[in-house]
Amino acid sequence: MPKYPAQPRPTAYVNARLLDPASGLDAPGGLLVEGETIAAIGQDLYREGRAWRAPEGAAVVDCQGLCLAPGLVDIRVFPGEPGDEHKETLYSAGHAAVAGGVTSMVCLPNTTPVIDDMSVAEFIARRARKVGMSKAYVYGAATKGTQGVELAEMGLLAEAGALAFTDGLYAIANARVMKNALAYASSFDLLIVQHPDEATLAAGGVMNAGAMATRLGLSGIPAAAEAIMVERDIRLAEMTGGRLHFAHVSTADSLAAIRRAKDRGLKITCDTAPPYFALNETAVGDYRTFAKLSPPLRSEADRLAVVAALKDGTIDAIASDHIPEDEEVKRLPFPQAAFGGIGLETLLPITLELVHNGEMKLLDALGLVTAAPAGLMRLPAGRLAKGRPADFVLFDPQRAWKVDADKLRSKSKNSPFDGRPVQGRAALTVVDGRGVFAEDAP
């Protein structure tokens, strides 16, 4: 496998298959890194006949024909730190991220203390810089303490670097509070992100409502709990003119409502996560708690609707929905086990399943985890272009491997894809021109 150079000097990455969804580039070529930025990129750059050369004085990395794409931008990550370091830390999350080709991650505000004040946002930024792996950005809490009662200081949080505002793992349940959040945010052109779940309807449920939940004797969460919240918030966004994004959408009815809202020209966007297009409720199997997620894994009809929405552009991005939970809260009877699954290291291969299954073209699938999420968060990431940050991943889309949760770099091991055969793996990850991960490095 290619190795990154040890010396901090100009580096030419040659003999690569360049993939840039933002520009539609898919061609053999090369890329030159100087300092922290891309200095040159092009089809057949540094190629002479069948050989490859590089500028004098530059280190050379032969990419051996592997795919060189923008680093993945993951817009839904719970970092654990501060407050839940037993589940995850910025160190472990950063290493897991770059092993999965993720060079930018946006952290949920459900830390302890909550990211509802500038000091916590600044702490995470400092810690991420010290770790020196994936870049870490933050959401600000939409309400103080993510309690859903009083709006947080969004303007000040935005000045401190918050990219958007959400209560993260919790829905903003009160309609008046949500309306006020959208109205306030629209004054500053800020984005509100909602976890769509009508909590009183979902209360007590532990998996998708339906025949399987009945057979297993488990309380169900109806698909309508998501759709009702989506419909409500679309109306509130229409009232206020606010920008609204729905996270991890998982049902056909929700997607139909979002599609109609987009057709009316509303400022509505959404993402989904790999479990909702790669798994369905049968993954719960014999009370498998690693498959207990929020929202829950849905029916096969809903899964197919998610795939269709990815193909037709209704879904704007894919995020890992990385929610680490330790064994103490996962190795419990299914009703008592915590919701959540990790996903940083499986984001790339599970997204590539859409390509291997013939459902999407490679550039289109990669765009959902690079340029599209970067655009939603207005980040200078997710594309290969001269002058852009040198954040990219070299990967083999055909590399076959089996997900083994115990070998993943996340501190917690609760992967819903544990044991799944997959294709596609990062061989090399570069952040700001620095090699931060190589597959065969110690």
Tell me the torsion sign for CA atoms 178, 179, 180, 181.
positive
Q: What is the mean pLDDT of residues 16-38?
A: 96
Confidence check: pLDDT of 52 > 80: no
Confidence check: pLDDT of 274 > 50: yes
Phi, psi dihedrals of residue 242, rounded to the nearest 5°: -75, 160
Q: What is the mean pLDDT of residues 293-309?
A: 98
Q: What is the pLDDT of residue 442?
A: 41
* Buried b or exposed e, range 36-65, using 16+ CB within 10 angstroms: ebbbebeeebbbeeeebebeeebbbbebee
Say if domain 70-376 classifies as CATH 3.20.20.140.
yes
Confidence check: pLDDT of 406 > 80: yes
Percent of the chain whose pLDDT exceeds 70: 97
Chain segment 128-187, per-residue pLDDT in tens: 899 999 999 999 999 999 999 999 999 999 999 999 999 999 999 999 999 999 999 999
Q: Which residue in the list 74, 116, 302, 321 is annotated as catalytic?
A: 321
Q: What is the mean pLDDT of residues 378-382?
A: 97
Confidence check: pLDDT of 288 > 70: yes
Domain residues of the chain, as ranges? 70-376
Residues 6+ apart with CB under 8 A from 87: 78, 80, 324, 325, 326, 411, 412
Q: Does the predicted model carry a pTM greater than 0.75?
A: yes
Confidence check: pLDDT of 80 > 60: yes
Q: What is the pLDDT of residue 440?
A: 74
Q: What is the pLDDT of residue 55?
A: 75
* Buried b or exposed e, range 416-439, using 16+ CB within 10 angstroms: bbbebebebbbbbbbbebbbbbbb
Phi, psi dihedrals of residue 232, rounded to the nearest 5°: -60, -50
Q: What is the pLDDT of residue 5?
A: 58
Q: How far apart are CA 55 and CA 266, in angstroms?
A: 49
Q: What is the mean pLDDT of residues 60-65?
A: 93
Residues 6+ apart with CB under 8 A from 425: 348, 349, 395, 396, 399, 401, 439
* pLDDT, the chain, mean: 95
Q: What is the pLDDT of residue 53?
A: 73
Chain segment 87-140, per-residue pLDDT in tens: 999 999 999 999 999 999 999 999 999 999 889 989 998 998 999 999 999 999
* One-letter identity of residue 285: G
CA atoms within 13 A on the CB side of 247: 28
At 8, the pLDDT band (50, 70, 90 cuts) reads low
Q: What is the pLDDT of residue 373?
A: 98
By the 10 Å C-beta count (0-12 exposed, 13-18 middle, 19+ buried), 329 is classed as middle
Confidence check: pLDDT of 64 > 50: yes
Residues 6+ apart with CB under 8 A from 23: 383, 384, 385
At 395, the pLDDT band (50, 70, 90 cuts) reads very high
Q: Is 321 known to be catalytic?
A: yes
Confidence check: pLDDT of 49 > 90: no
